[in-house]
Structure 1
Amino acid sequence: MSDVRPYLVFSDVDETLITVKSMFDFLRYQLVRQHGDAGEVRYERIMAMVHNMAGDGAPRADINRFYYRHYADQSVETIGRLAEDWFAERTASRRGFYIEATREALSAHRAAGATVVLVSGSFPPLLEPLAREVGADAVLCTRPIVADGRYTGEVATPVIGTGKSTAVLGVLESRPDVDPRDCWAYGDHVSDLPMLELVGHPVAVGENQELRQRLADRVRGVTA
């Protein structure tokens, strides 16, 4: 019988596992594929509105909802095909798309028998190919509402900030065999902190100094 205790690993995706913001990178790809130069213009207009919202202090969940409104009446099947094409193109060279340190860490956790869960405000067409590639066991993400095979432009609950921690907590509560203190979580932004604080081994990816400081303060508080 193995003496290894079961544990879970939760990983943010954008700028934690991959170098791009998947939602916006795909949006540009989709619009240009569908509309050519006009799609590029539309993308720039959308991003200007996103930057204005962020500059005005709009909650990240509101920006997440704003993003998905641009898929209203889009065919789920069409977006799925475009997402597979996007993923294939981005990973064709196998260089520059992944943050290799995180990918290697997840691979090591899998080899140790851990359950790996991706957690993201992005949506299934972009995350499912990625989950297959890195061997993730599950995906917790924002799920746009679908009616008659088309996106409505609305979402249920954005998996952003506290939405991430709520989703992660639900998984932890469903696994009474797992001690959260044995679990790991990876994130790159202070908005990931509510998720990171649920586990015994939080890891800051990248150079976000506020996140690193908050985690360092947490460790000092625990050991004091």
Structure 2
Amino acid sequence: MTSPPAPGASGARPTDARRLLVVMDVDSTLITGEVVEMLAAHAGSEADVTEITERAMRGEIDFAASLHARVATLAGLPVGVLDAVRREVELTPGARELVEELTRRGWPVALVSGGFAEIVEPLAASLAIAHTRANRLEVADGALTGRVTGAVVDSEGKAQALRDFARAEGVDLRDTVAIGDGANDLGMLAVAGLSVAFNAKPLVRAHAHVALDGRLDQVLALLDR
């Protein structure tokens, strides 16, 4: 793979006068696990859900259809399970360091997820991240219904989220960075000025400017070129 272009038209090292926007996937990127699988473990459907997740992340099946199929297995789970899963979430090594350094530089960070706002929003708040977009689980009578509300945040939804965040922050698309691991991240990776495949599936690695494995704060070295 060729060396990635640095964000911005000139390719120069970012300066204090220029702001970058970094948009990250959540499941298996910012955090180590897949939240839908963590929920499925409480429903006894983890094996089936994991298989569907893997196929969706490899781009073998439609993401929206896969999400509906996986969430359907969660029907009847008490809403209190969400609290348990929030406690189970683990940040990827280097994730906190990356976010803290970006914040120190005054560069906005956003999370966009095919997972669930009920997990993503508290996680973002704990890291002082202002922008999020994710699916929302439907709840009735204190239990998950097995459905999501509103439009599914799929590949195009993630791409649109990146555009919306850039517009809100006044950042040119050339100065955006997208980080993700699965096929549903391809849309935002294609839009961003710099695309990073992190611990990613082969399909995603082939379409990103650069591929990284291991610690998430390795991204900082790319931004300083």
Pair in the same fold by TM > 0.5: yes
* Aligned 1:131-150 pairs, distance under 5 A: 131-146=124-139
Q: Which amino acid aligns with 1:26?
A: L
How far residue 108 of structure 1 moved from its aligned partner, in angstroms, is: 1.4
**Counterpart contact for 2:16–2:105, Cα < 8 Å:** no
**Counterpart contact for 2:29–2:181, Cα < 8 Å:** yes
How many percent of aligned residue pairs carry the same amino acid?
Answer: 27
Matched, 1:69 2:63: no
Rounded Cα–Cα distance in structure 2 between residues aligned with 1:182 and 1:113: 14
CA 1:72–1:110: 2 relative to 1, 3 Å: same
Unaligned runs of 5+ in 2: 1-14, 211-225
2:32 aligned partner? 19
Q: Secondary structure at the match of 2:191?
A: coil
Q: Secondary structure at the match of 1:181?
A: helix
- TM-score of the aligned structures, taking structure 1 as reference length: 0.71
2:177 aligned partner? 184
Q: Secondary structure at the match of 2:115?
A: coil
Query: RMSD across aligned C-alpha pairs, in angstroms?
Result: 3.1
Q: Secondary structure at the match of 1:197?
A: helix
How far residue 158 of structure 1 moved from its aligned partner, in angstroms, is: 1.4
Rounded Cα–Cα distance in structure 1 between residues aligned with 2:54 and 2:181: 22
1:36 aligned partner? none
Q: Which amino acid aligns with 1:164?
A: K
How far residue 115 of structure 1 moved from its aligned partner, in angstroms, is: 1.7
Unaligned runs of 5+ in 1: 32-39, 92-96, 218-224
1:160 aligned partner? 154
* Aligned 1:38-187 pairs, distance under 5 A: 40=44, 42-44=45-47, 46-47=48-49, 50=52, 57-72=60-75, 78-79=78-79, 81-88=80-87, 90=88, 97-146=90-139, 151-152=144-145, 153-175=147-169, 177-187=170-180
- TM-score of the aligned structures, taking structure 2 as reference length: 0.71
Higher relative contact order (CA 8 A, sep 6+): 2
**Counterpart contact for 2:40–2:49, Cα < 8 Å:** no
Q: Whose radius of gyration is greater, 1 or 2?
A: 1
Q: Secondary structure at the match of 1:20?
A: coil
How far residue 211 of structure 1 moved from its aligned partner, in angstroms, is: 2.3
Count of residue correspondences: 194
